[in-house]
Amino acid sequence: MEPVTDFVTYHIDERGVASITLNRPEKHNAFDDTIIAALSHYLDTAAQDNHLRVLILRAEGKSFSAGADAGWMKKMAGYSVEENQQDAFALATLLNKLNTLPKPVIARVQGAAFGGAIGLIACCDMAVGTKLSKFCLSEVRIGLIPATISPYVIEAMGARVCRRYFQTAEVFSARRARRLGLLSEVVTEDELDDTVETLVSQLLKNGPVAMARAKALVRNVAFRPVDENLMQETSQEIADIRVSDEGQEGLTAFLEKRPAQWQESSND
């Protein structure tokens, strides 16, 4: 069933490049439970679409997202603890879907990204922002904490950095966001779309299954000690993919000096 909102749109082109777009510019793309449900729905659509090769998370208007909508927060203030927990778990589920989507995900960031919007960016595999972009983990300013987004923001930016910005609610620049690891690239507004397209073009050259496996590999290997178990697991991973259909096609194409099947389809 399609979500009942025009505040989130979904489009996929002939290359298999999809865009999920926050479309509430008059409210700086602030989100509520309806928008969270729509984002979650479209991520499910993207995960199940074998034609989809790359996903771009983007927003209309001046701002990427102001975070949680004020009206939604006011409504939640009247909820019980149990109702608040259920409401928050919907956002936690959305973030997990975005973080684990078996496709490469690019965040296209313009303008302000505050509060929960930083969580969305942190869940993407790469993020391109403009030099004028501003960021703020603003929750403590209104007596709250960035709880559901915290695992992803801490992974992206580091624990010591988050101890500062979770508590100070300072606004920080795109340049600093790049240095801290939240953004992959910082460009001018005129360069934003071209830079995103360059990443898309690079991703379309690569095996779709291999990219999904590579993304999962990072989650599996990160912060683990290099011991016998990890050595056996990673050896098994490469052995399995070498004999897979995609691995065989990729190796054969390389040796025959021809494009692989997924490269040919991306150029159609």
Residues 43-71 pLDDT 10s: 999 999 999 999 999 999 999 999 989 88
Separation of alpha carbons 153 and 148, rounded Å = 10
Residues 104-142 pLDDT 10s: 999 999 999 999 999 999 999 999 999 999 999 999 999
Coil vs helix vs strand at 8 = strand
Residues 184-201 pLDDT 10s: 999 999 999 999 999 999
Q: Which domains does the chain have, with CATH numbers?
A: 8-203 (3.90.226.10), 208-266 (1.10.12)
If pLDDT is split at 50, 70 and 90, which confidence band does 266 have? low
Q: What DSSP letter does each residue of 64-121 carry, written as one string?
A: SB-SB-HHHHHHHHTS-HHHHHHHHHHHHHHHHHHHH-SS-EEEEE-SEEETHHHHHH
Q: What DSSP letter does each residue of 250-262 carry, written as one string?
A: HHHHHHTTS--HH
The pLDDT score that the predictor gives to residue 194 is 98
